[in-house]
């Protein structure tokens, strides 16, 4: 896949449209594909895979402003509230308008990616049968499902355009043509096709395979299963058991594969030999030394580098998140967890804290040569003194790419990992009233966390974690199981940009966020007017520019 993402990106609209009339014009220019080349499935797939990394720091496909900063896990960071002010308004759930340029660009870029997938699918479908035809269609449909999944969790109602919709008919497709459930079903269908037609193992690293497709299909069914009230409300009114059974069936496929948890939590977030490891089911591939100036870098997360080693100190773990890792004397999460206003060395914490959050006085990315300091923070008065670790690398790594004023890296970004699958399965089992079956799954994740100390010996005296033992340190009722599962997702997947979408799926975003704001108002002055409005703030507004382009066919989300 390193090769896939570094090949020339195809200009889908222009390639092959200009016929030549002289020997000079008959020559194929560098970087432009002929009409015959555009029909080659491998080149089309390359362009579609390339779209995974065709984003920007203010249009990040990692979704950090939308899944993490918009939740209780992180502060926006940067120089202050006016630094990418759109993300500030998302952080405080206030002053969100329909004309934010960042939202319009995100919508546009995701549909560009979908257009590449549709072009690939349609072209392959129209070709005579060839070896691997259905497999290549499976890859393209997996990628289309991925991009539509992102649009769905961001905007809820989006126009569904597939390979069968002519370009001149795009403006006739409403974003309300499909119901909430029907739109999920379209996404499910793409992943189901991929499960049915992809091999379990690909010869080239980074390509979607059957295991990744099953994991994503399970994820789509999990979201689909939480039924929301109606077109104008986002309240969860029930959970569909049939969809949850599909989660169980598809996670079976993943659990029956050769994938498993890494022996140490840290290994998921390190470069080089650790990339595409046993826990990574699907990752966006990055590279360097590929003939381009900087290489194929992760531009999604370039802003999260702390000032002590680069720029620009965005996406900073919240005090609430640091406190969430506190544990009781029995090594379990605390109920009254959010009482502290700083990291306390006399407390005990879940070991995953030290892999997730950079804390002053401790090594940065496990380096014995570099200590993270308060002075590395750009605006500690507004955004406290922590930094995000998972997406960052040790600056001594050859994967660290200075492109001043920014400092990027070429470490892969995991989209789906095995731990997430374990927790998705546990969640489905709990909501199917089979909570006892979820206990060993959650404990599997916690056991790995307990053993994840090989690189954090400097913090071992500050860690304490135990598994759940029914009848000993917990009574494993369905209610307690649900609480444990939701807590485990927050800790295991912290700063991986899914927290807000979890809260929305569970139907508790307004409760969780307003409770968070009530505490944060005493810590950060800019939270003084923060308030989450139910049936509005769960989703982003449909960009006004897109509504105008549709000649007002698109309907705006409620509350905007």
Q: 374-402, pLDDT tens digit by residue?
A: 999 999 999 999 999 999 999 999 999 99
Tally the C-alpha atoms within 13 A of residue 492's C-alpha that lie toward its C-beta. 29
What backbone phi and psi angles, to 5 degrees, belong to 550?
A: -80, 5
Residue 414 corresponds to which tokens in the numbers above?
């995991």
Sign of the C-alpha dihedral computed for residues 196, 197, 201 and 202 taken in this order: negative
Check: pTM over 0.85? Answer yes or no: yes
Q: Which residues make beta-bridge pairs with 227?
A: 238
- Ramachandran angles phi, psi of 363, nearest 5°: -60, 145
User: Taking a C-beta distance cutoff of 8 angstroms, is the pair 122, 165 a contact?
Assistant: no
Burial (CB count <10 Å: 0-12, 13-18, 19+), residue 159: buried
Tens digit of each residue's pLDDT, the chain (560 residues): 343 333 333 333 323 322 333 332 333 444 444 445 566 889 999 999 999 999 999 999 999 999 999 999 999 999 999 999 999 999 999 999 999 999 999 999 999 999 999 999 999 999 999 999 999 999 999 999 999 999 999 999 999 999 999 988 998 999 999 999 999 999 999 999 999 999 999 999 999 999 999 999 999 999 999 999 777 899 999 999 999 999 999 999 999 999 999 999 999 999 999 999 999 999 999 998 877 788 899 999 999 999 999 999 999 999 999 999 999 999 999 999 999 999 999 999 999 999 999 999 999 999 999 999 999 999 999 999 999 999 999 999 999 999 999 999 999 999 999 999 999 999 999 999 999 999 999 999 999 999 999 999 999 999 999 999 999 999 999 999 999 999 999 999 999 999 999 999 999 999 999 999 999 999 999 999 999 999 999 999 999 999 999 999 999 999 99
Q: At what angle do helices 85-92 and 101-126 cross, to 10 degrees?
A: 100
- Do 295 and 53 contact (CB within 8 A), yes or no? no
Distance, CA of 355 to CA of 335 (rounded, Å): 22
- Is 336 strand, coil or helix? coil
Q: What is the CA radius of gyration of the chain?
A: 23
Cβ atoms 543, 104 nearer than 8 A: yes
Helix 210-225 crosses helix 180-197 at what angle (to 10 degrees)? 160
Write a three-state SS string for 355-377: HHEECCCCECCCCCCCECCHHHC
């Amino acid at each position: 896949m390193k090769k896939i993402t570094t090949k020339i990106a195809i200009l889908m609209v222009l390639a092959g449209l200009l016929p030549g009339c002289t020997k000079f014009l008959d020559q194929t220019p560098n970087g432009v594909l002929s009409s015959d080349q555009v029909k080659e499935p491998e080149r089309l797939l390359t362009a579609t895979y390339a779209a995974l990394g065709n984003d920007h720091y203010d249009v990040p496909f990692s979704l950090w402003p939308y899944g993490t900063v918009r939740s209780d896990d992180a502060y926006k960071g940067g120089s202050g509230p006016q630094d990418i002010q759109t993300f500030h308004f998302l952080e405080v759930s206030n002053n969100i308008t329909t004309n934010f340029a960042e939202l319009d660009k995100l919508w546009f870029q995701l549909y560009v990616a979908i257009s590449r997938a549709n072009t690939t699918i349609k072209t392959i479908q129209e070709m005579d049968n060839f070896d691997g035809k259905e497999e290549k269609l499976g890859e393209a449909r997996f990628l289309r499902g991925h991009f539509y999944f992102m649009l769905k969790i961001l905007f809820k109602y989006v126009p569904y355009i597939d390979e069968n919709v002519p370009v001149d008919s795009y403006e006739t497709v409403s974003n309300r043509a499909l119901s909430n459930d029907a739109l999920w079903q379209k996404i499910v269908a793409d992943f189901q096709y991929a499960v049915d037609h992809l091999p379990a193992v690909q010869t080239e690293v980074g390509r979607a395979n059957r295991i990744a497709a099953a994991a994503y299909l399970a994820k789509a069914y999990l979201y689909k299963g939480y039924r929301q009230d109606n077109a104008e409300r986002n309240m969860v009114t029930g959970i569909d058991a049939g969809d949850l059974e599909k989660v169980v069936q598809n996670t079976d496929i993943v659990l029956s594969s050769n994938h498993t948890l890494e022996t140490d939590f840290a290994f998921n977030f390190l470069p080089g030999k650790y990339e595409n490891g046993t826990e990574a089911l699907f990752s966006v591939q990055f590279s360097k030394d590929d003939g381009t100036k900087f290489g194929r870098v992760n531009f999604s997360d370039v802003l999260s580098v702390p000032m002590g080693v680069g720029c620009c100190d965005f996406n900073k773990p919240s005090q609430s998140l640091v406190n969430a890792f506190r544990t009781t004397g029995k090594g379990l999460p605390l109920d009254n967890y959010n009482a502290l206003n700083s990291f306390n060395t006399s407390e005990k914490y879940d070991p995953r804290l030290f892999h997730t959050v950079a804390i002053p006085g401790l090594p940065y990315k496990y380096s014995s040569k570099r200590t993270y300091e308060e002075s590395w923070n750009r605006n500690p008065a507004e955004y406290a003194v922590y930094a995000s670790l998972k997406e960052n690398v040790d600056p001594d790594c050859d994967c660290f790419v200075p492109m001043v004023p920014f400092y990027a890296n070429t470490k892969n970004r995991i989209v789906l990992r095995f731990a997430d699958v374990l927790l998705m399965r546990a969640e489905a089992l709990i909501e199917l009233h089979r909570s006892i079956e979820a206990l060993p799954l959650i404990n599997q994740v916690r056991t790995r966390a307990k053993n994840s100390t090989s690189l954090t010996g400097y913090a071992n005296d500050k860690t304490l974690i135990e598994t759940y033992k029914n009848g000993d340190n917990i009574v494993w009722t369905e209610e307690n199981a649900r609480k444990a599962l939701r807590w485990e997702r927050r800790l295991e997947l912290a700063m991986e940009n899914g927290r807000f979408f979890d809260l929305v799926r569970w139907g508790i975003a307004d409760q969780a966020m307003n409770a968070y704001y009530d505490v944060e108002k005493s810590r950060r002055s800019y939270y003084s007017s923060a308030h989450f409005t139910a049936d509005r703030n769960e989703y982003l507004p449909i960009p006004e520019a897109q509504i105008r382009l549709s000649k007002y066919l698109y309907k705006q989300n409620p509350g905007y």
